[in-house]
């Protein structure tokens, strides 16, 4: 233990004790023992106050906690053993409950398997302990995922992109063209506006991650969420365009629970299962 670490830790312990009521004023602090049997230095401090005696266990990679000497923990070894047992159990619980960041919000990106795989890789790579350039690399993966989504959209309607003169990698312009295609008309005006804003946010924010060496763990996590949300948005707009907006609706009660029944002369009748209303179906050639 270096003198600097000792001084800093004594200050941390004093501040830590201030968070407890009725624990008394610190009279003496000394490091009783340092354990290294788990290949990590963990220190047990003997702290005396005017109201009692305590063990404080801490290390550079171990959280700080205190244990009373009088009631339960009579030696530094007992305090250390209990502390490491608790922290390892908490660590195991965290691992068991770990979820990818992109699992934090419901997404519909399974159909774009290559993009989904990239985002899961970025999610697994993300950690608080990464260096700045590693944060930037995750931003790059996110931006590449958006470009892949742009190329996927171009496959669905090549003529549209060719007529506009856009490159397949031009995510923002391509995405905005498909937003116009998928949700046309005045009734979708607000949704189009919100969708364009999300597309712009996802691309611009990821670009800032890639080009800045000063971003932190939360910044990159937000970038990953923006990316996943933008891709999920485009997929859901596709499904909205593909069928849900064109589902028959009962003119009487507004229900979408419609049965299509064929009558004579190749005519079809829409029968509402909610109110029983019947009307001739308008079939699109």
User: Rounded CA gap, 187 and 179, in Å?
Assistant: 14
pLDDT digits (tens, 9 = 90+) for 188-209: 999 999 999 999 999 999 999 9
| pLDDT of 180 over the 80 cut | yes
pLDDT digits (tens, 9 = 90+) for 228-281: 889 989 988 888 887 656 667 788 888 878 787 777 666 778 888 888 888 887
> Which pLDDT belongs to residue 235?
86
> Which pLDDT belongs to residue 244?
59
Give the helix/strand (H/E) hosting 219.
helix 217-242
Please state the rounded mean pLDDT for residues 175-179: 95
| pLDDT of 81 over the 80 cut | no
Q: Which of 188, 194, 172, 177 is nearest to 240 (CA)?
A: 188
Domain boundaries, the chain: 3-96, 109-245, 250-285
> Which pLDDT belongs to residue 144?
92
Q: Enter the pTM of the model.
A: 0.54
Place of tokens 């742009």: 150
Give pairs for 64-67: CB < 8 Å, separation 24+: 64/12, 64/13, 64/16, 66/16, 66/17, 66/20
Centroid of chain to Cα 198: 16
């Amino acid at each position: 233990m270096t003198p600097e670490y000792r001084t800093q830790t004594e200050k941390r312990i004093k501040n830590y004790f201030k968070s407890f009521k009725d624990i008394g004023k610190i009279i003496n602090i000394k490091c009783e023992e340092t354990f290294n049997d788990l290949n990590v230095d963990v220190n047990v401090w003997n702290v005396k106050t005017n109201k009692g005696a305590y063990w404080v266990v801490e290390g550079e990679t171990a959280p700080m906690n205190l244990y009373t000497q009088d009631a339960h923990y009579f030696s530094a070894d007992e305090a250390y053993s209990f502390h490491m047992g608790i922290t390892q159990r908490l660590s195991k619980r965290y691992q068991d409950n770990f979820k990818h960041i992109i699992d934090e919000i419901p997404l519909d990106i399974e159909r774009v398997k290559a993009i989904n795989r990239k985002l899961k890789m970025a999610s697994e790579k993300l950690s608080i302990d990464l260096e700045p350039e590693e944060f930037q690399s995750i931003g790059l993966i996110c931006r590449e995922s958006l470009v892949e989504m742009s190329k996927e959209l171009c496959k669905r309607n090549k003529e549209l992109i060719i007529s506009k003169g856009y490159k397949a990698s031009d995510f923002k312009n391509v995405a905005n063209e498909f937003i116009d295609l998928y949700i046309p008309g005045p009734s979708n005006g607000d949704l189009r506006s919100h969708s364009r804003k999300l597309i712009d946010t996802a691309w611009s924010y990821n670009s800032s991650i890639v080009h800045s060496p000063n971003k932190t763990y939360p910044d990159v996590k937000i970038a990953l969420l923006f990316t996943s949300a933008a891709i999920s948005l485009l997929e859901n707009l596709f499904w909205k365009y593909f069928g849900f907006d064109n589902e028959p609706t009962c003119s009487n009660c507004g229900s979408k629970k419609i049965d299509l029944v064929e009558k004579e002369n190749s005519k079809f009748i829409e029968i509402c299962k909610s109110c029983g209303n019947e009307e001739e179906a308008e079939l699109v050639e």
